[in-house]
């Protein structure tokens, strides 16, 4: 993301950055822009440029006009297709996906611009994900009340011919600061709360969440022992993200907590509710709180607090826990979405194997200069796969691909990588493997495929064979491109010489045939 002024956006900045990051991942769009306007005056706003859009292109995108009647109205989000203005001819317009985000109280006006996309090219999953991202961002900004724009921030209206000087912010953006009676009292008692809320929007893993709250929670609860616990199914499975104070009373709370017990007679507490089962009399001098902060699918986040003195928790601390539960729920929902998006970005949906993009990323990392380990890759292609699709249908072909994927998974070590490379091709990346060992492994896989029984809808499919090409780093090449190119040539050498064989680059170059 280009350099912007985070202070001008206040606590909204992390939420907006995270929204752009996840939107880019959802749409596979490396470049996009988001305009931000506070109130009805366009002069109190600006634009966030994600992905280094050039200044000229950014201006063309922002001034794009509706291109076609394609329009999609969703909850809190309207999507339409525009045409990028500029030097491009009307005969070959460049589309721009434009999404307008609707805040319920009209305090904010957001519009997102994605060059190169149209509404009709979005999948149902992408639309639903955009709806979810929009909803979450607007919920996060509900705590950020805009300050009254200062007259000094107003900029003179630009004429149509006058270009704007800024790229990241074409005009000033006023600060977005939380306010309100309840929030002010909490903020007065804990001036670092705004910092915590802002940083929570940047959490991209539970590890980061634990580290962040491990820094702030002892500050908010200095007279209590406490810890943040993540429970998953089965109930006995839990992870302590962070803890502070005396661990002894927390052990007693853990034994009584309903989430740590497999058999329960009462329903589990929901988000923001206390686990009353932890209100035990193991030590009458201690006041205990066990509160559910967030709950997403099978994962529950709980804060457990034990106060050494009999004095009750303060009103400010109780209010703070409520605010914290709202934010933790947002974080957990975002982590779940991010996990799903990353899973979709890395895995092939049919076979469950990693995809080509991930294999290329791994190879680029492993083949860096200075790394001396032997790395071998095996490219695999199913022989006469088109005949299976043509004769038995594509669903039968999909069944064959799934079976081959399962077989390949069973022929790799924990440190190796197997992926679907495209179509009926697969790729294996073998670490610390010499060319000789890799060729033996390839031939073992070739023979194992012959014993795979394929069927579809109760109908047996004919036996299949595979051809394999083997190349190794640094023996055959020192760049990923060279390695893949040579392995591909060895693979097609095998197919051109009878199929059902494993061929290394050395064998290909020498002209020898391997069975």
β-pairing verdict for 425-431 and 287-296? unpaired
How do residues 88-137 score in pLDDT, each as one tens digit?
445 567 888 999 888 766 667 788 999 988 888 888 878 888 888 888 77
Residue 291 has pLDDT above 70, yes or no: yes
In this prediction, residue 143 carries a pLDDT of 53
In this prediction, residue 164 carries a pLDDT of 34
How do residues 230-269 score in pLDDT, each as one tens digit?
877 655 567 888 888 877 777 766 666 665 554 444 556 5
In this prediction, residue 235 carries a pLDDT of 54
CB atoms inside a 10 Å sphere around CB 124: 7
Q: State the helix-helix crossing angle for 12-27 and 193-200, rounded to 10 degrees.
A: 0
CA dist., res. 419 & res. 346, Å (int): 10
322 confidence band (pLDDT: 50, 70, 90): confident
Better-predicted residue by pLDDT, 222 or 377? 377
Of the listed ranges 91-105, 173-187, 370-384, 420-434, the least confidently predicted one is 173-187
How do residues 37-92 score in pLDDT, each as one tens digit?
766 665 566 788 888 778 778 888 888 888 766 678 877 888 988 887 654 445 56
Asked if residues 186 and 315 have their Cβ atoms less than 8 Å apart, the reply is no
CA dist., res. 515 & res. 501, Å (int): 5
How do residues 327-347 score in pLDDT, each as one tens digit?
777 777 777 777 777 777 788
User: Which ranges of 28-106 does DSSP label H, i.e. alpha helix?
Assistant: 55-62
In this prediction, residue 406 carries a pLDDT of 93
Residue 514 has pLDDT above 70, yes or no: no
Better-predicted residue by pLDDT, 153 or 487? 487
Asked if residues 204 and 335 have their Cβ atoms less than 8 Å apart, the reply is yes
Nearest CA-CA partner of 300 in 233, 251, 225, 250: 233
How high is the mean pLDDT of the chain? 75
What is the three-class DSSP state of 377?
strand
In this prediction, residue 242 carries a pLDDT of 84
Flag whether the pTM goes above 0.85: no
Question: How would DSSP label each residue in 210-244?
Answer: HHHHHHHHHHH-TTEEEEEEEEETTTTEEEEEEEE
How do residues 425-484 score in pLDDT, each as one tens digit?
999 999 999 999 999 999 999 999 999 999 998 889 999 999 999 999 988 988 889 999
User: Where do we find the tokens 């802002």?
Assistant: 198
What is the three-class DSSP state of 1?
coil
Phi, psi (rounded to 5 degrees) for 477? -175, 155
Domain 181-346 CATH assignment equals 3.30.450.40? yes
User: Where do we find the tokens 């039968």?
Assistant: 396
Q: Boundaries of CATH 3.30.70.270 in the chain?
A: 356-510
Q: Is the peptide bond before 314 cis (omega within 30 degrees of 0)?
A: no
In this prediction, residue 172 carries a pLDDT of 32
Q: Is the peptide bond before 233 cis (omega within 30 degrees of 0)?
A: no
3-state secondary structure 277-317: HHCCCCCCCCEEEEEEEEEECCEEEEEEEEECCCCCCCHHH
Residue 147 has pLDDT above 60, yes or no: no
Better-predicted residue by pLDDT, 207 or 312? 207
Tokens standing for 502? 């494993």
Tokens standing for 34? 């988001």
Q: Hey, what CATH topology would domain 6-152 get?
A: Beta-Lactamase (3.30.450)
Residue 492 has pLDDT above 70, yes or no: yes
Residue 220 has pLDDT above 50, yes or no: yes
Phi, psi (rounded to 5 degrees) for 51? 95, 20
In this prediction, residue 83 carries a pLDDT of 85
Domain 356-510 CATH assignment equals 3.40.50.300? no
Nearest CA-CA partner of 213 in 245, 250, 242, 247: 242
Tokens standing for 387? 């005949």
Tokens standing for 296? 């997403």
């Amino acid at each position: 993301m280009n350099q912007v002024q985070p202070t001008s956006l206040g606590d909204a900045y992390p939420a907006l950055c995270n929204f752009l990051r996840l939107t880019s991942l959802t749409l596979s769009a490396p470049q996009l822009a988001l305009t931000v306007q506070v109130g009805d005056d366009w002069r109190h706003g600006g634009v966030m440029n994600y992905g280094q859009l050039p200044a000229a292109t950014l201006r063309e995108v922002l001034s794009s006009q509706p291109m076609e009647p394609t329009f999609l109205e969703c909850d809190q989000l309207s999507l339409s297709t525009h045409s990028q203005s500029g030097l491009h001819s009307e005969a070959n317009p460049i589309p721009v996906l434009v999404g307008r985000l609707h805040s319920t109280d009209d305090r904010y006006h957001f519009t997102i611009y994605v060059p190169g996309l149209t509404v009709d090219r979005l999948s149902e999953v992408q639309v639903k994900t955009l709806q979810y991202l929009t909803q979450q961002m607007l919920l996060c900004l509900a705590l950020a009340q805009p300050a009254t724009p200062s007259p000094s921030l107003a900029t003179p209206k630009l004429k149509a011919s006058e270009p704007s000087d800024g790229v990241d912010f074409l005009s000033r953006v006023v600060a977005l600061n939380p306010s309100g009676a309840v929030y002010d009292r909490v903020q007065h008692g804990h001036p670092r709360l705004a910092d915590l809320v802002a940083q929570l929007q940047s959490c991209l893993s539970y590890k980061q969440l634990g580290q962040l709250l491990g820094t702030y929670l002892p500050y908010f609860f200095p007279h209590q022992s406490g810890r943040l616990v993540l429970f998953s199914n089965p109930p006995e499975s839990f992870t302590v993200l962070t803890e502070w104070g005396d661990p002894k009373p927390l052990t007693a709370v853990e034994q009584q907590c309903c989430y740590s017990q497999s058999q329960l007679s009462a329903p589990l507490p929901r988000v923001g509710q206390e686990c009353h089962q932890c209100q035990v009399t193991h030590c009458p001098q201690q006041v205990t709180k066990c509160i559910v902060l967030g709950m997403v699918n099978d994962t529950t986040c709980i804060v457990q607090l034990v106060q050494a003195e009999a004095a009750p928790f303060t009103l400010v601390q109780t209010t703070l826990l409520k605010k914290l539960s709202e934010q933790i729920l947002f974080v957990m929902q975002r982590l779940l979405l991010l996990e799903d998006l990353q899973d979709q970005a890395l895995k092939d949906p049919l076979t469950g194997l990693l995809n080509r993009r991930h294999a290329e990323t791994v190879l680029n990392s492993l083949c860096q200069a200075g790394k001396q380990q032997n790395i071998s890759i095996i490219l695999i292609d199913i022989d006469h796969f088109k005949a299976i699709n043509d004769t038995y249908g594509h669903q039968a072909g999909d069944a064959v691909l799934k079976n081959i994927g399962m077989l390949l998974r069973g022929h790799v070590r924990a440190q190796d990588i197997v992926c679907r490379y495209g179509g009926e091709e697969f790729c294996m990346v073998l670490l610390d493997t010499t060319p000789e060992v890799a060729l033996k492994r390839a031939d073992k896989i070739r023979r194992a495929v012959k014993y795979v029984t394929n069927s579809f809808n109760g109908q047996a499919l004919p036996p299949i064979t595979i051809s394999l090409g083997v190349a190794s780093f640094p023996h055959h090449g020192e760049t990923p491109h060279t390695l893949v190119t040579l392995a591909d040539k060895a693979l097609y050498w095998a197919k051109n010489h009878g199929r059902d064989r494993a061929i290394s680059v050395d064998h290909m170059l020498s002209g020898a045939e391997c069975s």
